[in-house]
């Protein structure tokens, strides 16, 4: 894929307060003020121009701005995303999930290295579990992806889930768009692998890959029907060496399970492939399936329609978030919200009655 030649507009837009640090991934996004406290004002058009030129430090700062919870930072981040919007949407957006221990990071590290060697630019957005003490990322993907961490054609952004729905960072969509504007043509979104993060990520990517283990039962792997229903492909990892026979048997079982489920797309039947991220076996063929999937769905118009549906869903998600923020800061409910929360917590007030009172205060 080629980089866009789009030039950002020169309109006098709002100024963005960004940090002067280079690599912000080591700063917990849940504490954005720690990364922007030494900020200098940079015009949105200048920030956009640097991102379009592939400036990695500016990209990192822009993501920190997007992740900030401060209203003034959010407003300026929205202006930046709007400027960059025409340059986005061309990348392969791939979600990758699997329970801890399935080898997600090892597989992504090797797959990403293969892709950069083939001329791609790869961005990895790894949504880590959040520390309950600091709010920061626990797993630290930069230490788990040794190849990509030193690859100039790769960019790794660990983001703590910070309590967002399903463990997915609230600003993952905007971060994807910033990375696309910076010229990354492959975006890999790694989920926590537990809870509802799979469903949430599947709603923002083009292709959803589920990694499985050979010779492990459903209960051990946490395999649910819902995960198989949203999978575009199942890859049985660690299929080399002594695991080869168990992997083939597991693949047969997954194919049988997929055959009795309703098809996610009339244009695509999810394949089951055998891979080894550690041994770099089957990864090229696996990526070939990702490209074939896009080709088939683009031919029928389903790819573009899926993107449009995702955009509308994104709008509603952001609207709900904005409404909740406004509600929590509304003076009409502020004086009652604390008492109602305690009443519900102590079992003195039912949740429905509390909601009725809050809605009544807002006139809805």
Q: State the residue for tokens 């979104």.
A: 189
pLDDT at res. 217: 60
For domain 307-362, is the CATH number 1.10.287? Answer: yes
343 DSSP 8-state letter? H
Residue 206 in contact with residue 92, Cβ under 8 Å?
yes
Q: Which of 186, 191, 34 is nearest to 113 (CA)?
A: 186
pLDDT at res. 300: 96
pLDDT at res. 334: 84
pLDDT at res. 320: 85
The answer to whether domain 15-86 and domain 307-362 are alike in fold is: no
pLDDT in tens, the chain (364 residues): 444 333 333 333 333 333 433 333 333 444 444 444 333 478 899 999 999 999 999 999 999 998 888 888 888 999 999 999 999 999 999 999 988 888 999 999 999 999 999 999 999 998 765 433 434 443 444 557 889 999 999 999 987 555 554 445 568 899 999 999 999 999 999 987 666 677 888 889 999 999 998 876 654 454 566 788 889 999 999 999 999 999 999 899 889 888 888 778 889 999 999 999 999 999 999 999 999 999 999 999 999 999 999 999 888 888 888 888 788 888 888 888 889 999 999 999 999 999 999 988 888 8
The H or E element containing residue 189 is strand 186-190
Residue 148 in contact with residue 154, Cβ under 8 Å?
yes
pLDDT at res. 11: 34
Mapped onto helix, strand or coil, the DSSP state of residue 209 is strand
If one looks up domain 88-299 in CATH, what number appears? 3.40.50.300
Residue count (the chain): 364
The structure tokens listed for 139 are 């797993």
Give me the residue spans of the domains in the chain: 15-86, 88-299, 307-362
Put the strands of the sheet holding 186-190 in their side by side order.
154-160, 122-128, 186-190, 92-97, 207-212, 233-236, 272-274
Residue burial 53-89, b: 16+ Cβ < 10 Å; e: rest: ebeeebbbbbbbbbbbeeeebbebbebbbebbeebbe
Residue 94 to residue 202: CA distance in whole angstroms:
9
The structure tokens listed for 324 are 């909740």
pLDDT at res. 42: 84
The H or E element containing residue 233 is strand 233-236
> At the topology level of CATH, where does 15-86 sit?
1.20.5
The structure tokens listed for 95 are 């979600």
Residue 229 dihedral angles phi and psi, to the nearest 5°: -70, -30
Residue 97 in contact with residue 201, Cβ under 8 Å?
yes
């Amino acid at each position: 894929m080629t980089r866009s030649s789009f030039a950002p507009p020169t309109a006098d837009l709002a100024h963005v307060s960004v940090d002067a640090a280079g690599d912000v991934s080591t700063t917990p996004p849940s504490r954005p003020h720690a990364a922007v406290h030494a900020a200098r004002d940079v015009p949105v058009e200048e920030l956009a121009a640097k991102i379009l030129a592939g400036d990695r430090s500016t990209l990192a700062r822009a993501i920190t701005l997007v992740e900030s919870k401060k209203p003034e930072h959010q407003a300026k981040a929205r202006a930046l995303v709007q400027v960059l919007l025409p340059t986005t949407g061309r990348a392969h957006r791939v979600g990758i999930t699997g329970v801890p221990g399935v080898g997600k990071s090892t597989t992504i590290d090797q797959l990403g290295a293969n892709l950069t060697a083939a001329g791609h630019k790869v961005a990895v957005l790894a949504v880590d579990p959040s520390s309950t003490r600091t709010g920061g990322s626990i797993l630290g993907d930069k230490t788990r992806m040794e190849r990509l961490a030193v690859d100039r054609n790769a960019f790794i952004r660990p983001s703590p889930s910070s309590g967002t729905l399903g463990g997915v960072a609230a600003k993952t969509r905007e971060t994807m768009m910033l990375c696309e504007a910076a010229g990354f043509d492959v975006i890999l979104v790694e989920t926590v692998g537990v809870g509802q993060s799979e469903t949430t990520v599947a709603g923002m990517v083009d292709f959803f890959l589920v990694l499985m283990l050979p010779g492990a039962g459903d209960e051990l792997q946490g395999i649910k029907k819902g995960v198989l229903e949203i999978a575009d492909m199942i890859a049985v990892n660690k299929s080399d060496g002594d695991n080869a026979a168990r992997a083939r048997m597991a693949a047969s079982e997954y194919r049988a399970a997929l055959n009795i489920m309703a098809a996610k797309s009339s244009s695509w039947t999810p394949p089951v492939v055998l891979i080894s991220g550690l041994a770099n076996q089957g990864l090229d063929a696996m990526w070939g399936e990702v490209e074939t999937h896009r080709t088939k769905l683009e031919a029928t118009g389903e790819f573009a329609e899926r993107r449009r549906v995702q955009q509308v869903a994104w709008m509603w998600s952001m609207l709900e978030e904005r409404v909740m923020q406004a509600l929590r800061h509304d003076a009409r409910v502020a004086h009652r919200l604390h008492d109602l929360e305690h009443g519900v917590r102590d079992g003195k007030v039912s949740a429905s009655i509390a909601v009725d009172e809050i809605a009544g205060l807002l006139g809805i």
